[in-house]
Amino acid sequence: MLRKNRVEKSLKSYIRGHLKSGYSRHSVRKVLVSHGYDEPYVDKLLRKHSELQFVRKYAIFVSLLFIVSLVLFNSFSPIQISSQEITGYAVSSGNDGCCTSICQQTSKEECYGTFMPGQKCKELEACRVGCCIDREGYCLTNYLYGNCIGSFGTSVNRDCSDIVFCRNLTDKSYASRIYNLKGKKGAGISAGQQADYYKSSFSIKYYLYDKSNVQSVIAEIVDKGTIIDSIALYDDGFHNDGAKNDNLYGNNWLSSKLNDFEGFKSLDIDIVIVYNDGTTAKISKAQSIVIVGKSRCLPIYAEWGNASKYGMIFAADNYNSSSGYGQLESDANSFIGALFSTGGFSGSKADFSFYRLEEALSYLNAQAIASIASSSCPYYSNTKDLIVVLDPKEEYCVYGNKKIIRTNPSVLFYSNITSADINRTLDEFCGYVLTPKKLADGIIGFATPPKIVMHTLDSITYNTTAVNLSFSISSVNYPVNYSIFLEDLPVSGGIFNTDSDGSILLSLSNGTNRVLVSSADKNNNIAFAQLLLNVTA
């Protein structure tokens, strides 16, 4: 009986603490029930908590009314009221650790489960709340990390609705249970190859949330509304469909069944599901593929020829003949990844279509590249689209023509690149590109000291003590502070913001006079120049 009382006390503490922290009654109830506690028992605890909260709030209200009435009744007699905090929760004494089964601060005697002495629950990984994917594939939200791992589940520190697996990939998943996808004919998700050359093998796949009573799955290949071919999809593990009976149907379709053509074709894939009772379900345009005919402008991503988007077309120059096209594809993807993860461009990827030219691995000039892009890439515009020539031998980013640049493929981008006006940004694109050579130049320039040139001659003997000292200072990093010393004593100084000449009339002594000019730029790079001036007056 004593143990039951302790468990109930711990559960009440768990309910009280999590409701106070902002968790809903529904989420608290769900976690406790998933841990095996009886649903009516959990409902009773939640109801008692609500009733107790009401009683406490009512008691506080009555107490305040009583105190106010006393103050009014004894307005001429000061009343001494002991300072006491009124709260809806009892203050627990002896809370010297964390009970990880409910993630509450308790004493060891009050904890039913693992007890961590001297630890704060909020600092323990076991008390982290996230999404738990259990052994059966169910996604449980607002779940304690320790309880999830203890039940051999996988814990992810995110909401279940943000996890792809929990949204799409099983009839037990978060999305399918919330939106009742199970049992809905045809509910699924399409995946497969997006674009390739004519006479290639295209992978077509369709995942069914519920395959019960499914007799067959068929993919229809559609060209502008006309069915030109169809193939059966299988879930047997032998047709590029993953594992056997994993709800993923697949097969390969050969585009050589088409007649020879020039340019490109965009085809839709309709999925037809035939059930055992003879009924069918059709998912129109479940997928699209692009087949490139006699063209050397290959789409890098699925979408091809959207006139409303900006185009970014990649070409190769000075690439190795044996591995050039594969290297171009890899370099173009790296370039795109770097660009659209930087600054204001990070949210602009959807505004672009991407292509790569495979006409040649070297071009005579920018005009030749533009001519090929115009004849091969759909909707190419020399006033809107940007051609990027990747050249391993190019050290910088240079302009070949308007909207045509040549750059080393290993690039970074300055963080101030912005998509506020994409057209203007493309016009000034090289200004945002940082190549390895440009980076090295910047490092060298940062550390380059000023240059001091003395114009006053030191190869003669002056017959006067008044000698004019003339000099000039140039620098990479302005402003530059300079000082003039005569026999280690400062006599003058100033600041130059550009390449400048300076002069000062020195009062020298008979004999040898040591004159020193020192300068320091904004990066604290220091330079010195010295003269020995001989005087016989």
Task: Supply the pLDDT for residue 197.
Answer: 64
Where do the structural domains in the chain lie, given as residue ranges? 2-77+93-164, 188-292, 297-443, 451-535
Ranges of residues in the chain with a pLDDT under 50 are 1-4, 54-55, 57-94, 168-183
* Domain covering 188-292 in this structure, CATH number: 2.60.40.10
Identify the three-state secondary structure at position 89: coil
Q: Which residue has the tokens 């040898």?
A: 512
Q: Do domains 188-292 and 451-535 have the same CATH topology?
A: yes
**Res 73: pLDDT:** 37
- What DSSP string runs through 248-270? EEEEEEEGGGSPP-SSEEEEEEE
CA distances from 133 to 57, 111, 137, 158, 481 (A): 40, 26, 6, 11, 65
Identify the pLDDT of residue 180: 44
CA distance 112 to 102: 8
Per-residue pLDDT, 132: 79
pLDDT confidence of residue 342? 83
Full-model pTM: 0.45
> E strands of 59-128, at which residues?
97-99, 104-106, 115-117
The confidence score (pLDDT) of residue 85 equals: 30
Q: Which CATH superfamily is domain 451-535 in?
A: Immunoglobulins (2.60.40.10)
Task: Tell me the pLDDT tens digit for each residue of 334-378.
Answer: 899 889 888 778 888 888 888 888 777 877 788 888 888 887 787
Please name the helix (run of DSSP H) or strand (run of DSSP E) that holds residue 336, with its range, or none.
helix 324-339
User: What would the two tokens of residue 26 be?
Assistant: 């529904």
| pLDDT score recorded for residue 335 | 92
The pLDDT of residue 76: 36
Separation between Cα atoms, residue 229 and residue 211, nearest integer Å: 24
